[in-house]
Amino acid sequence: MLETFLYWLFLFFLFNVMGWVLESIVESINHKRLINRGFLAGPYIPIYGVGGVLFAVVGIPLRTAYPNLYVNIFLVFFIGMLVATALEYVVGSILERVFKKQFWDYSTLKLTNKFTYKNRISLVSSLFFGLCALFMAFVLYDIVSGYVKVLPFEVLVVVDIVMTLLMGTDAIIQIKRHGRIRISLEKLSYEQLREALLKTLVRMGGTHQIREFRDVVFKNIKSINETINENIKKLRPNSNSETNDEEQEQ
């Protein structure tokens, strides 16, 4: 029983690191610079650990649930997609409520900025999760578990204890840090908030993102001005006709 628990805990930490590597690579390519993804400071993202374990727990029994292989493939894909999407939405909602901050936003990526709900979940990402569930159930789990099962019991114990302490300490530090940041932001004036936003935009992607942000704002302002001018033009003939009618009556 203890060995089984340590085995799955080890897989949880392993999937944390693998998810961090994958997401950091995608974000670094998107922003054209190295980016450390995740809420925590270390190279791990817990939601990937939970998702990976769920994919394995749900997907492994389903891959042999029915005699028809294609039915099993569909079940692993569909159920894995639903489970991962629900997990992502629930975790995102909880983090936003607790920290008053959105930790991932699918509207920032061209690939996932369509068919999103509250920018927490995306159709593209959900389909990708389904593919991940297939990959986990039919390929990755057998490879990873084959290596993990041959590890000595002592190695599992040491790695699990070290990672638990490391991630636990990291989580406490980050929770306190974000709490202090929220309190500090509440005390900032409008000018200070605007300056903080500018620095955040620079840190997120440099001048390119700032130009895009500026262009969108100016475009909206220009559109509003054009709408106002069109409404004024529509009103002018009416006002002129009313003036002419008054002159005729006189």
pLDDT tens digits along 107-163: 777 777 778 888 889 998 899 999 999 999 999 999 999 999 899 999 999 999 999
Element (H, E) at 117: strand 116-117
Same domain, 156 and 193: no
Phi, psi values for residue 63, rounded to 5°: -70, -15
Quote the domain boundaries for residue 94. 2-187
Q: Please check whether residues 113 and 82 belong to one and the same domain.
A: yes
- Are both 178 and 69 inside the same structural domain? yes
Mark whether 95 and 20 lie in a shared domain.
yes
Last residue of a domain, one of 156, 187, 218: 187
Interval 25-77: pLDDT, tens: 887 887 778 887 777 888 999 989 999 999 999 999 999 999 999 999 999 99
DSSP 63: T
- Based on the domain organization, do 206 and 121 belong to the same domain? no
What are the residues whose beta carbons fall under 8 Å from the beta carbon of 89, sequence distance 6 or more?
Answer: 117, 120, 121
Same domain, 95 and 206: no
* Residue 94 half-sphere exposure toward CB, CA atoms < 13 A: 7
Tell me: pLDDT of 239 over 50.
no
Most confidently predicted of 82-86, 173-177, 200-204, 230-234: 82-86
Query: At which of 145, 170, 187 does a domain end?
Result: 187
Last residue of a domain, one of 187, 218, 241: 187
Query: What is the distance between the alpha carbons of residues 205 and 113, in angstroms, rounded to a whole number?
Result: 17
Query: Are 127 and 226 part of one and the same domain?
Result: no
Does one domain contain both 159 and 73?
Answer: yes
In the chain, how many domains are there? 2
Asked whether residue 175 falls in the same domain as residue 224, the answer is no
In our burial notation (b when 16+ CB lie closer than 10 A, e otherwise), range 156-194 reads beebbeebeeebeebeeebeeebeeeeeeeeeeeeeeee
What tokens were used for 46? 């817990």
Residues 175 and 241 grouped into a single domain: no
Tokens 């805990």 label which residue?
9
Burial class (CB in 10 A: 0-12, 13-18, 19+), 20: buried
